[in-house]
Each structure stands twice: as structure tokens, then as C-alpha cells.
Amino acid sequence: MSKEKAPLPPGSNFIRGIIERDLTANKYAEKQWAGSPGNAKHHQTAPVDPAKIRTRFPPEPNGYLHIGHAKSIFLNFGLAQDYHGICHLRFDDTNPEKESQEYVNSITEMVQWLGFNWENASENNLYFASNYFDEMYQAAELLIQNDYAYVDSQTADEMRENRGTLTEPGKDSPFRTRTVEENLTLFREMRDGKHPDGRHILRAKINMASPNFNLRDPAIYRIRRAHHHHTGDKWCIYPMYTFAHPIEDALERITHSLCTLEFEDQRPFYDWLMKKLVETGMLSQPVPKQTEFARLNLTYVVLSKRKLIQLVEEKHVSGWDDPRLPTLAGARRRGYTPAGFKLFTDRIGVSKADSWIEYLIFEDCMREVLNLDAERRIAVLDPIKLVIDNYEDGHSEDCFAPNHPLKEELGKRTVQLSKELWIEREDFMEEPAPKYFRLFPGNMVRLRYGYVVECTGCEKDADGNVTVVHCNYLPDTKSGTDGANSVKVKGNIHWVSAAHAYEAEVRLYDRLFKEAHPGEGDRDFLQDINPNSVQTITVQLESSLQSVNPGDCFQFERHGYFVADRIDSVKGKPVFNRTVTLRDAWQK
RNA sequence: UGGGGAGUCGCCAAGUUGGUUAAGGCUCAGGGUUUUGAUCCCUGCAUGCGAAGGUUCGAAUCCUUCCUCCUCAGCCA
């Protein structure tokens, strides 16, 4: 009927393309899965894997997760969900010197916070690379036995010298021709602690003249006497990422191993290893395939581990969960939500092109979800007194404010109106700017959910600063009454009754960096830090805010979204963090 | 200057076995609704797909050459 093209599937991208092609080709139709990771023999008699695809999120537990990881988390877990697959959470803990349980804990907590889990009725897909050290060791011996690996005894410096350069091939190590027996003996001695750290190293035997450095006999096992947070002191040799990661994927029967672009050059080795281990019978087809995508870059934000550590250690921020940091721990404290992250990752897509996402896209995603979720409350952030001169002294009355304009079912709450109110300083101008339609002498505005008032003037101190604004109210114009619309006004300002409001602390956060690309060129990124990235103020809040729980999010009307800080709030005295402002066409 | 990648509207990003007017989102501009200058709604926004040639009835999609950017020489991941 329609001449229109069929709508494209939402979020179409090259990775989905690959998965869909693999699925229609029935590539995994006979892939077996024994319910737990293992080698070919382990899966040999198992039933066909009920998971159509398997992906994995493989963080190294050596730091805190940040927004960039969120992209990967939503990609891997999201793809698994969409294609009836399963996503594993796997800690890539092959370097004990940098890793610790503390990081493991924070990472699992954040992945769960984003809404993902790795357990279902029959499986718990939380894995550790260190659980596969036995298999990795066996794989290394298999390689040696087939003359695909050898023990090199050059020093690190010698290895570097002999690796060649971009334009010159490397030179074979003098130890490259050791016999299988010699290599096996030496490697076992390495395992048994007979050699000091760094004395020998196991290398894959591929091609020292390859134009790809990763194929110039890459190191795959090194001696390191280090206590491992999981395996303790069982091992004094540890596998390198290059070697370990493909094996981890294969043992877990991962179908699509997604990683960032910098691992692209590693793929030939990944495939080489798979081929050799299938050849030796340790693994069986189908083996996992690595696919690379571009990592996230966000303007006004740094995501490099090194820079984040520096910001924390040099105390430019309060800690790993500082609300100004792009860490997930910081984001949660800031009031950014999992739904917002989901929207964000959907919106930016995934491709192989290096790109910089504008920070406002991220903020906008948060606004979009918060607009739907957050109840409205009233806060006067920069208070100035407004006195309704014709209102009865000492009297007060109920006004009814909807908790959410888009969700009537959330009901209304009462707020008290009285003669003396707090309003925003910026809602009054003695000399109004062009197109300003708030309070100025002679102008009428509505006190939101209350009456229309007419401004009559103001008082000023000796320096000319406005101290009190005066007005009269129009008694028949109360919101919710028949006369509410008898007077049409353009301005609508919020307020709290001075007698009923309470004083509180609010933190106004702004971007941590003032430059779109911190540290661009030769600049030190620390020089680009925004000196006004946080401002702590004392405000007047409606009383209902006093009893909220840490972590609760609200829209403070006409200001933005705020969250009760999960750390610094105390019972009956929440501290609020500004998550993001409302859009403001007037300020432009 | 060896290898591996990428270049489609200000920012992302579909589309690449060649086939009519190059999706969509965000930004932006203009208009409407509105008791948040918010939200929401409507309209507009690439004769052009890094550049130049070529093949073809027809090219973002194929070929050639060139340009720009990213990435690789850890016993890190």
C-alpha cells in the first residue's frame, strides 16, 4: 500500500548487522554449553546452548567504572537481551599487581545499579579470568608441545631492541630455537618458582618480521611473584591479556567478543590462538569472534583512567564518587539515573568512527527521563522577601500543588501561603529588561498555585541592593477557584512562605572542565578545570522536602532536577545536589 | 614514510550484492499550546556523502589516485 520504505529497526548498527547475519547463517545452531565455562571436552556432551548469543562485559578490577564503561555495559547486556542471549560479567584479573577486591565490589555494584544481573535460575554468569588459570596453563603447554611457543631468556631491554620498528622487521631471539623439551622443562620451572621474576618469559612463536607488532612473537606468560586477590599465592606466573582474553572468551563460549578500537591490531593474534587451540583439541568450533567499536569521548569530560586517578589523588575532587566526576559512582550521587544512561547509549549509537559526543546530549537524556520520573517541589535558591501588603497579618492558607503535571495520579500536596514569602531574587527587576515578564513595579504575575499579585515597589539598602519587594494580591484569583483565570498574566513565579519554609544546603554543580577538550594540544588538562564547578548555597525549601530519603530525585520547579545526596544527607536534613538545570530559553 | 582502522548536515548516525526526492536523533531557527520562559506539538534545516578523476542509462555505494584523522614498537589491559 504505502510507498514509504519499511522503517529501519531501531538502533541499527554494524554490530547488530554482524549478529543478525551470524544468526541467519545458523552459525551457533549446534554450539554446546555445559552450564559452566570449560574446554572442548567439558562442553562435548552438553546440550545445545539455549542462549542464542553470548556476550561479556570484561572489566579489569583496577579502577572505577565510568560513563565510557556504561556504553559497553549497555551494548553487551543490551545485545544479549535483544537477541535472546546471555551476557557474562567477567573480571579480567590477570595482573595481580594492579587489581583488588575493592574494585571488584564497586564494579559489581555499579553494573547492578545500571539494571543488569548475571544470575538466573540455572546459571550464575559472574566469572573471573583467574578461575581459568589452570586451563590457560594447559593451553600454554599445548602451544609449546606443538612448537607454537617458546621460552625466551632475553632481558626486557633486549626484547625491545629486537622487536624492530614500524618500518624494520624484528630479529629472532637467540632462544627461539630451543627444543620442545627444553621449553617445556623451562616453562614448568617457571611455574614452580625456580626462576626469578623477569628471568624468562613465554612467547608465542609466530613471525618476528610481521608488520603487525602483535604477531612478532608476543609475550604470553610472565613470572610475577605477586599475591592475587583470588588465587592467593598459588601462581607465580601469570598470563598476559593478549593470551588470556581469547581463552576466557572461548571457555565461556562467547560468540561476540566486543572491545574498543585499540584492540583491533590484536585480532589477528586472537584468531591465531583460536585456530591453534582448536587444532590441538582444547577448543571446539564455533570459536568467539572479536569485533571492535569506538570508545566514548564526551566533551568537557575526561575519561582516561590516568587523569581520573590524578583528579582524585591530587584532591581536585572529593573522591571517586564526587558528583562532578564521570564515574558511575559520581553519576549516581549527582542524580543521573540508569534510565538516563540507557537513553544516552541508545541515542549515541555505536560505530567505528572516532567521535566526540556533545555533553549536552548526555544532559538532555537525563532531563528527558527525569522530566517523566521526578516529582515537583518548590525551592527558592536565591531568596529575597516578598511582602503582600494587603494580606492579613498572621494568617495563612492552603494552596494545592500537583506533584507531577504529567501524572495526575500522583496527586497534590498542600503548601502554605502567608503574608511574607521568599521568592527568587532574579524574579524581580526594578528596571525590567526588554521582554522581562516577571515582577517589576506595576506588573502582575501569578504566585504559582496561589494568587495573582501586582508589584508595588521595593525597599533597598544603603548600597542600592533590593532587600524587600512589595505587592498586593487580587483576592478572587486564587488557583483552582472560578476566578483563577479572570486575570491573565504572562509571568508565573514560585515562592515559599517564610513562616513555613526551612533553610537547607544545596550544591549547584556545573561541568568540571571549562574547555570542550580538556588538555587539548600541549595544555595540562588540570589548567582547564572549571574553578566554579560547585557552589554550595543556603536556600529556602518547602517543608515537605525535609523528610525525603537519600537518593530521591525531584524537580525544583523552574530550576532543574535535584537529588538528596546519598552520602551527606542526614535524617530530617537532606542535602540536595543539582543534577541538571531545566532548559532555559530566556537565558539565551 | 610499515601494518591496522575511520572520514555521510553543527554533534551523533542509518544507508555500502549500484537503482527513483540521502533515514532518524540531538542541536539550531521559526510558530503553536502551557499556572514551570519547562514539558508537549508543528514547520524548516546535506543537488550533498573527505577530494579529484573514472566505469555505468544510473554511484554515498564499484575502480584509480590523493588528503585528513585515529591506532600499534609494556614482561599493562
Closest nucleotide (C1' vs CA) to A9 is: B14
Q: Confidence class of residue A282 from pLDDT cuts 50, 70 and 90? A: very high
Sequential DSSP letters for A509-562: E--SBSSSSTT-TT--GGGGB-TTSEEEEEEEE-GGGGGPPTT-EEEETTTEEE
- Reference A143, options A200, A199, A218, A235; nearest CA is A218
> Å between A386 CA and B8 C1'?
56
Separation between Cα atoms, residue A102 and residue A65, nearest integer Å: 12
Cα distances (angstroms) measured from residue A98 to each of A226, A233, A487: 10, 15, 68
> Å between A588 CA and B29 C1'?
13
* pLDDT of A7 higher than 50: no
Closest nucleotide (C1' vs CA) to A62 is: B77
Place of cell 562532578: A324
**Region of poorest pLDDT, from A5-14, A50-59, A243-252:** A5-14
* pLDDT of A120 higher than 90: no
Residue with the bigger pLDDT between A485 and A337: it is: A337
Which amino acid appears at position A101 of this protein? Answer: Q
Closest nucleotide (C1' vs CA) to A365 is: B26
Q: Given the residues A295, A342, A425, A448, select the one marked as catalytic.
A: A295
Average the pLDDT over A20-36 and give the result. 95
pLDDT at A586: 87
| Residue closest to sugar C1' of B7 by CA | A353
* pLDDT of A5 higher than 70: no
Q: What is the 3-state secondary structure (H, E, C) of A441-494?
A: CCCEEEECCCCEEEEEEEEECCCCCEEEEEEEEEHHHCCCCHHHHCCCCCEEEC
Q: Given the residues A27, A60, A182, A342, select the one marked as catalytic.
A: A60
Burial zone of A569 (CB within 10 Å; 0-12 exposed, 13-18 middle, 19+ buried): buried
Q: Given the residues A163, A305, A352, A385, select the one marked as catalytic.
A: A305
Tell me whether residue A295 is one of the annotated catalytic residues: yes
Q: Domain A135-237 is classified in which CATH homologous superfamily?
A: Glutamyl-tRNA Synthetase; Domain 3 (3.90.800.10)
Burial zone of A27 (CB within 10 Å; 0-12 exposed, 13-18 middle, 19+ buried): middle
Q: Residues A72, A111: contact at Cβ < 8 Å? A: no
pLDDT tens digits for range A477-524: 999 998 898 899 999 999 999 999 999 999 999 999 999 999 988 889
> Å between A27 CA and B50 C1'?
37
Q: Is the confidence metric ipTM above 0.90 for this complex?
A: yes
Residue with the bigger pLDDT between A8 and A104: it is: A104
Strands of the sheet containing A375-377, edge to edge, are: A375-377, A553-556, A560-564, A576-581, A502-509, A534-541, A379-380
Fold for domain A14-131+243-293?
Rossmann fold (3.40.50)
| Residue closest to sugar C1' of B13 by CA | A349
Q: Confidence class of residue A121 from pLDDT cuts 50, 70 and 90? A: confident
> Å between A372 CA and B39 C1'?
9
Closest nucleotide (C1' vs CA) to A158 is: B75
Average the pLDDT over A329-353 and give the result. 97
| Residue closest to sugar C1' of B6 by CA | A353
* pLDDT of A333 higher than 50: yes
Strand, coil or helix: what is A201? strand
Name the pTM for this structure: 0.95
Average the pLDDT over A252-277 and give the result. 98
Average the pLDDT over A244-254 and give the result. 98
pLDDT tens digits for range A220-239: 999 999 999 999 999 999 99
Quote the cell numbers at residue A297: 569521548
Separation between Cα atoms, residue A40 and residue A62, nearest integer Å: 31
Pairing mode of beta strands A86-91, A54-57: parallel
Closest nucleotide (C1' vs CA) to A15 is: B14
Q: Confidence class of residue A587 from pLDDT cuts 50, 70 and 90? A: confident
Tell me whether residue A60 is one of the annotated catalytic residues: yes
pLDDT tens digits for range A134-162: 999 999 999 999 999 999 999 999 999 99
Q: Residues A386, A423: contact at Cβ < 8 Å? A: yes
Q: Which nucleotides of B are covered by protein (CB under 7 A)?
A: 1-8, 10-16, 20-21, 23-29, 35-40, 69-77
Place of cell 587489581: A99
Closest nucleotide (C1' vs CA) to A267 is: B4
In chain A, the percentage of residues whose pLDDT exceeds 70 is: 98
> Å between A14 CA and B14 C1'?
10
Burial zone of A514 (CB within 10 Å; 0-12 exposed, 13-18 middle, 19+ buried): middle
* pLDDT of A3 higher than 50: no
- Reference A131, options A99, A101, A91; nearest CA is A91
- Reference A208, options A245, A243, A147, A161; nearest CA is A161
Which amino acid appears at position A161 of this protein? Answer: E
* pLDDT of A4 higher than 60: no
Which amino acid appears at position A404 of this protein? Answer: H
Pairing mode of beta strands A383-388, A466-474: parallel
Closest nucleotide (C1' vs CA) to A451 is: B35
pLDDT at A1: 25
> Å between A490 CA and B24 C1'?
36
Sequential DSSP letters for A299-336: TT----HHHHHHHHHTTSSSSTT-TTSSBHHHHHHHT-
* pLDDT of A2 higher than 60: no
Separation between Cα atoms, residue A81 and residue A511, nearest integer Å: 34
CATH architecture group of domain A382-499:
Beta Barrel (2.40)
Tell me whether residue A3 is one of the annotated catalytic residues: no
Residues 6+ apart with CB under 8 A from A100: A61, A62, A229
> Å between A229 CA and B53 C1'?
62
**Domains of chain A by residue range:** 14-131+243-293, 135-237, 382-499
> Å between A197 CA and B41 C1'?
69
Sequential DSSP letters for A326-345: SBHHHHHHHT--HHHHHHHH
**Region of poorest pLDDT, from A33-37, A284-288, A483-487, A555-559:** A483-487
- The radius of gyration computed from the CA coordinates of chain A, to the nearest angstrom, equals 31
In chain A, the percentage of residues whose pLDDT exceeds 90 is: 95
> Å between A7 CA and B38 C1'?
31
pLDDT tens digits for range A46-92: 999 999 999 999 999 999 999 999 999 999 999 999 999 999 999 99
Separation between Cα atoms, residue A86 and residue A54, nearest integer Å: 5
Q: Confidence class of residue A10 from pLDDT cuts 50, 70 and 90? A: low
pLDDT at A289: 97
Cα distances (angstroms) measured from residue A76 to each of A83, A90, A326: 11, 12, 20
The whole-chain average pLDDT of chain A stands at 95
Average the pLDDT over A31-51 and give the result. 97
* pLDDT of A265 higher than 90: yes
Strand, coil or helix: what is A220? strand
Q: Residues A338, A80: contact at Cβ < 8 Å? A: no
